[in-house]
Amino acid sequence: PFFWVIVPAAGVGARMRADRPKQYLELAGRTILEHSLECFLDHPQLKQLVISLSVDDPYWPSLPCADDPRITRANGGKERADSVLSALLKLAELGARPHDWVLVHDAARPNLSRFDLDLLLGELADDAVGGLLAVPARDTLKRIGSDGRVAETVDRSLIWQAYTPQMFRFGALHRALADALVAGAAITDEASAMEWAGLSPRLIEGRADNLKVTRPEDLDWLRQRWSTRG
Ligand code: CTP
Ligand code: MG
Protein backbone atom coordinates (compact mmCIF):
# COMPACT_ATOMS: atom_id res chain seq x y z
CA PRO A 1 0.00 0.00 0.00
CA PHE A 2 1.10 3.56 -0.64
CA PHE A 3 -0.11 7.04 0.24
CA TRP A 4 0.04 10.54 -1.22
CA VAL A 5 0.93 13.58 0.87
CA ILE A 6 -0.17 17.21 0.59
CA VAL A 7 1.66 19.93 2.52
CA PRO A 8 0.01 23.36 2.36
CA ALA A 9 2.88 25.84 2.75
CA ALA A 10 1.52 29.02 1.22
CA GLY A 11 0.63 30.88 4.41
CA VAL A 12 2.27 34.14 5.50
CA GLY A 13 2.42 33.34 9.22
CA ALA A 14 0.90 36.63 10.36
CA ARG A 15 0.60 35.52 14.00
CA MET A 16 4.36 34.76 14.18
CA ARG A 17 5.21 38.36 13.22
CA ALA A 18 8.58 37.23 11.84
CA ASP A 19 10.54 38.57 8.86
CA ARG A 20 9.44 35.65 6.69
CA PRO A 21 6.69 33.00 6.57
CA LYS A 22 7.09 30.82 9.67
CA GLN A 23 7.74 27.60 7.72
CA TYR A 24 11.08 29.13 6.67
CA LEU A 25 12.24 30.02 10.18
CA GLU A 26 15.17 28.05 11.55
CA LEU A 27 14.83 25.15 13.98
CA ALA A 28 17.86 23.03 14.90
CA GLY A 29 19.86 23.98 11.82
CA ARG A 30 17.14 23.55 9.22
CA THR A 31 13.87 25.23 8.27
CA ILE A 32 10.65 24.25 10.04
CA LEU A 33 9.34 23.14 6.63
CA GLU A 34 12.19 20.65 6.10
CA HIS A 35 11.44 19.09 9.48
CA SER A 36 7.73 18.91 8.60
CA LEU A 37 8.53 17.03 5.37
CA GLU A 38 11.10 14.66 6.85
CA CYS A 39 8.78 12.06 8.35
CA PHE A 40 7.11 11.51 4.96
CA LEU A 41 10.29 11.54 2.87
CA ASP A 42 11.69 8.87 5.21
CA HIS A 43 8.63 6.64 4.80
CA PRO A 44 8.85 3.73 2.34
CA GLN A 45 5.14 3.95 1.45
CA LEU A 46 5.24 7.56 0.23
CA LYS A 47 4.13 7.79 -3.41
CA GLN A 48 4.47 11.53 -4.07
CA LEU A 49 4.31 14.68 -1.99
CA VAL A 50 2.67 17.82 -3.33
CA ILE A 51 3.59 21.09 -1.67
CA SER A 52 1.46 24.21 -2.15
CA LEU A 53 3.60 27.33 -2.30
CA SER A 54 3.04 31.02 -2.92
CA VAL A 55 3.68 31.78 -6.57
CA ASP A 56 6.45 34.22 -5.66
CA ASP A 57 7.97 32.18 -2.81
CA PRO A 58 11.69 33.14 -2.78
CA TYR A 59 12.77 30.63 -0.11
CA TRP A 60 11.74 27.22 -1.44
CA PRO A 61 14.13 26.98 -4.44
CA SER A 62 17.20 27.18 -2.21
CA LEU A 63 16.22 24.24 0.01
CA PRO A 64 17.95 20.92 -0.79
CA CYS A 65 14.61 19.10 -0.99
CA ALA A 66 13.41 21.41 -3.78
CA ASP A 67 15.16 19.02 -6.19
CA ASP A 68 13.69 15.86 -4.67
CA PRO A 69 11.90 13.95 -7.47
CA ARG A 70 9.25 12.79 -5.01
CA ILE A 71 8.10 16.39 -4.43
CA THR A 72 5.83 18.29 -6.84
CA ARG A 73 4.91 21.96 -6.55
CA ALA A 74 1.40 23.37 -6.66
CA ASN A 75 0.26 26.99 -6.42
CA GLY A 76 -1.14 28.02 -3.06
CA GLY A 77 -4.44 29.86 -2.75
CA LYS A 78 -6.02 32.53 -0.61
CA GLU A 79 -6.98 30.28 2.31
CA ARG A 80 -5.48 27.01 3.52
CA ALA A 81 -8.40 25.09 1.98
CA ASP A 82 -7.70 26.70 -1.42
CA SER A 83 -4.07 25.62 -1.17
CA VAL A 84 -5.12 22.05 -0.38
CA LEU A 85 -7.63 21.97 -3.24
CA SER A 86 -4.94 23.19 -5.63
CA ALA A 87 -2.69 20.34 -4.48
CA LEU A 88 -5.53 17.84 -4.95
CA LEU A 89 -5.86 18.98 -8.58
CA LYS A 90 -2.12 18.38 -8.96
CA LEU A 91 -2.54 14.90 -7.48
CA ALA A 92 -5.15 14.15 -10.14
CA GLU A 93 -2.58 15.11 -12.80
CA LEU A 94 -0.12 12.76 -11.11
CA GLY A 95 -2.58 9.89 -11.46
CA ALA A 96 -4.23 9.66 -8.01
CA ARG A 97 -7.23 7.32 -7.99
CA PRO A 98 -10.45 7.89 -5.99
CA HIS A 99 -9.69 5.17 -3.43
CA ASP A 100 -6.07 6.25 -2.76
CA TRP A 101 -5.18 7.60 0.68
CA VAL A 102 -4.09 11.23 0.90
CA LEU A 103 -2.43 12.62 4.04
CA VAL A 104 -2.54 16.40 4.54
CA HIS A 105 0.05 17.86 6.92
CA ASP A 106 0.75 21.46 7.95
CA ALA A 107 4.07 22.92 6.80
CA ALA A 108 4.43 24.46 10.25
CA ARG A 109 4.14 21.18 12.20
CA PRO A 110 7.78 20.04 12.42
CA ASN A 111 7.61 17.51 15.25
CA LEU A 112 5.54 14.67 13.78
CA SER A 113 6.92 11.32 14.97
CA ARG A 114 7.19 8.18 12.86
CA PHE A 115 5.27 6.46 15.63
CA ASP A 116 2.24 8.75 15.20
CA LEU A 117 2.40 8.58 11.42
CA ASP A 118 2.38 4.78 11.47
CA LEU A 119 -0.34 4.79 14.13
CA LEU A 120 -2.57 6.91 11.88
CA LEU A 121 -1.85 4.76 8.81
CA GLY A 122 -2.42 1.54 10.73
CA GLU A 123 -5.59 2.54 12.55
CA LEU A 124 -7.27 3.91 9.45
CA ALA A 125 -6.06 1.42 6.84
CA ASP A 126 -9.47 -0.28 6.59
CA ASP A 127 -11.61 2.70 7.56
CA ALA A 128 -14.41 3.76 5.23
CA VAL A 129 -13.94 7.49 5.86
CA GLY A 130 -10.50 8.19 7.32
CA GLY A 131 -9.57 10.52 10.14
CA LEU A 132 -6.93 12.61 11.82
CA LEU A 133 -4.45 12.83 14.64
CA ALA A 134 -5.94 14.70 17.56
CA VAL A 135 -5.23 15.42 21.21
CA PRO A 136 -7.74 15.44 24.08
CA ALA A 137 -8.15 18.84 25.74
CA ARG A 138 -5.93 19.04 28.82
CA ASP A 139 -6.99 22.19 30.59
CA THR A 140 -10.38 23.07 31.99
CA LEU A 141 -12.28 24.85 29.24
CA LYS A 142 -14.30 28.06 29.54
CA ARG A 143 -16.70 29.64 27.11
CA ILE A 144 -16.08 33.40 27.17
CA GLY A 145 -18.92 35.91 27.25
CA SER A 146 -19.01 39.26 25.45
CA ASP A 147 -18.11 40.93 28.76
CA GLY A 148 -14.80 39.01 28.92
CA ARG A 149 -16.03 36.88 31.81
CA VAL A 150 -16.66 33.17 32.00
CA ALA A 151 -20.01 32.31 30.46
CA GLU A 152 -19.73 28.62 31.34
CA THR A 153 -17.35 25.71 31.86
CA VAL A 154 -17.36 23.30 28.93
CA ASP A 155 -17.20 19.51 29.40
CA ARG A 156 -13.53 18.83 28.66
CA SER A 157 -14.02 15.13 27.95
CA LEU A 158 -15.94 16.04 24.78
CA ILE A 159 -13.29 18.33 23.28
CA TRP A 160 -10.24 17.27 21.26
CA GLN A 161 -7.80 19.44 19.35
CA ALA A 162 -7.47 18.64 15.64
CA TYR A 163 -3.87 18.01 14.56
CA THR A 164 -2.37 16.81 11.30
CA PRO A 165 -1.77 14.62 9.35
CA GLN A 166 -5.40 14.18 8.33
CA MET A 167 -5.98 11.12 6.16
CA PHE A 168 -8.81 10.70 3.66
CA ARG A 169 -9.55 9.00 0.34
CA PHE A 170 -8.58 11.16 -2.62
CA GLY A 171 -11.99 11.06 -4.31
CA ALA A 172 -14.07 11.78 -1.23
CA LEU A 173 -11.76 14.54 0.01
CA HIS A 174 -11.61 16.22 -3.38
CA ARG A 175 -15.39 16.22 -3.72
CA ALA A 176 -16.04 17.38 -0.15
CA LEU A 177 -13.51 20.20 -0.27
CA ALA A 178 -14.55 21.46 -3.71
CA ASP A 179 -18.25 21.40 -2.80
CA ALA A 180 -17.72 23.02 0.60
CA LEU A 181 -15.65 25.85 -0.90
CA VAL A 182 -18.25 26.51 -3.61
CA ALA A 183 -20.92 26.62 -0.89
CA GLY A 184 -18.84 29.11 1.10
CA ALA A 185 -18.60 26.86 4.17
CA ALA A 186 -16.01 27.69 6.85
CA ILE A 187 -13.33 25.05 6.26
CA THR A 188 -10.26 25.19 8.49
CA ASP A 189 -9.09 21.59 8.07
CA GLU A 190 -9.81 18.60 5.84
CA ALA A 191 -11.98 16.93 8.49
CA SER A 192 -14.34 19.91 8.54
CA ALA A 193 -14.85 19.51 4.78
CA MET A 194 -15.66 15.82 5.27
CA GLU A 195 -18.03 16.69 8.13
CA TRP A 196 -19.70 19.28 5.90
CA ALA A 197 -20.30 16.43 3.42
CA GLY A 198 -22.00 14.40 6.15
CA LEU A 199 -19.10 12.05 6.94
CA SER A 200 -17.59 11.33 10.38
CA PRO A 201 -13.77 11.29 10.51
CA ARG A 202 -12.17 9.15 13.21
CA LEU A 203 -10.04 10.79 15.88
CA ILE A 204 -6.74 9.02 16.51
CA GLU A 205 -5.03 10.13 19.71
CA GLY A 206 -1.57 11.46 18.93
CA ARG A 207 1.25 13.11 20.85
CA ALA A 208 0.60 16.65 22.09
CA ASP A 209 4.11 17.71 21.06
CA ASN A 210 3.17 17.41 17.37
CA LEU A 211 2.16 21.03 17.74
CA LYS A 212 1.73 23.62 15.01
CA VAL A 213 4.04 26.61 15.21
CA THR A 214 1.55 29.44 15.42
CA ARG A 215 2.98 32.02 17.82
CA PRO A 216 6.59 32.92 18.73
CA GLU A 217 6.43 30.99 22.01
CA ASP A 218 5.68 27.75 20.13
CA LEU A 219 8.99 28.01 18.29
CA ASP A 220 10.81 28.99 21.50
CA TRP A 221 9.43 25.82 23.10
CA LEU A 222 10.50 23.58 20.21
CA ARG A 223 13.97 25.11 20.01
CA GLN A 224 14.46 24.60 23.72
CA ARG A 225 13.30 21.02 23.55
CA TRP A 226 15.34 20.12 20.47
CA SER A 227 18.48 21.63 21.96
CA THR A 228 18.24 19.44 25.06
CA ARG A 229 17.20 16.10 23.62
CA GLY A 230 19.82 13.48 23.12
N1 CTP B 1 -1.55 27.75 4.45
C2 CTP B 1 -1.57 27.65 3.06
N3 CTP B 1 -2.26 28.57 2.32
C4 CTP B 1 -2.90 29.60 2.90
C5 CTP B 1 -2.90 29.71 4.32
C6 CTP B 1 -2.20 28.76 5.07
O7 CTP B 1 -0.98 26.73 2.49
N8 CTP B 1 -3.54 30.49 2.15
C9 CTP B 1 -0.79 26.77 5.24
C10 CTP B 1 0.29 27.39 6.10
O11 CTP B 1 1.46 27.61 5.33
C12 CTP B 1 0.46 26.37 7.21
C13 CTP B 1 -0.90 25.70 7.31
O14 CTP B 1 -1.63 26.10 6.15
O15 CTP B 1 1.39 25.37 6.88
C16 CTP B 1 -1.61 26.04 8.60
O17 CTP B 1 -2.06 27.38 8.58
P18 CTP B 1 -1.67 28.49 9.66
O19 CTP B 1 -1.05 27.87 10.84
O20 CTP B 1 -2.85 29.37 9.85
O21 CTP B 1 -0.49 29.29 8.90
P22 CTP B 1 -0.52 30.77 8.36
O23 CTP B 1 -1.82 31.03 7.68
O24 CTP B 1 0.73 30.95 7.57
O25 CTP B 1 -0.41 31.63 9.70
P26 CTP B 1 -1.34 32.85 10.15
O27 CTP B 1 -2.76 32.34 10.15
O28 CTP B 1 -0.85 33.24 11.50
O29 CTP B 1 -1.13 33.95 9.12
MG1 MG C 1 -3.69 30.96 8.78
CATH class of 3-228: alpha beta
Ligand 1 centroid to residue 76 C-alpha, Å: 10
pLDDT by residue (tens digit) across 104-162? 999 999 999 999 999 999 999 999 999 999 999 999 999 999 999 999 999 999 999 99
Q: Give residue-wise pLDDT tens across range 17-69.
A: 999 999 999 999 999 999 999 999 999 999 999 999 999 999 999 999 999 99
CA 213 to ligand 1: nearest atom: 19
Q: Which of 80, 132, 210 to mutate to test the pocket of ligand 1 (most atoms within 8 A of CB)?
A: 80
Sequence spans of domains, the chain: 3-228
Are 106 and 8 in contact by the 8 Å Cβ rule? The answer is: yes
**Of 129, 132, 58, 53, the residue nearest 90 (C-alpha):** 53
pLDDT band at 230, cuts 50/70/90?
A: low
Ligand 2 center to 214 CA (angstroms): 9
Ligand 1 pocket, residue 130 CB under 6 Å: no
Percentage of the chain with pLDDT > 90? 98
Query: What ipTM goes with this model?
Result: 0.99
**Ligand 1 atom nearest residue 108's Cα:** 15
Ligand 1 atom with the smallest distance to the CA of 52 is 7
Pocket test for ligand 1, best of 5, 6, 7, 12 (most atoms within 8 A of CB): 12
Judge contact between 86 and 77, C-beta under 8 A: yes
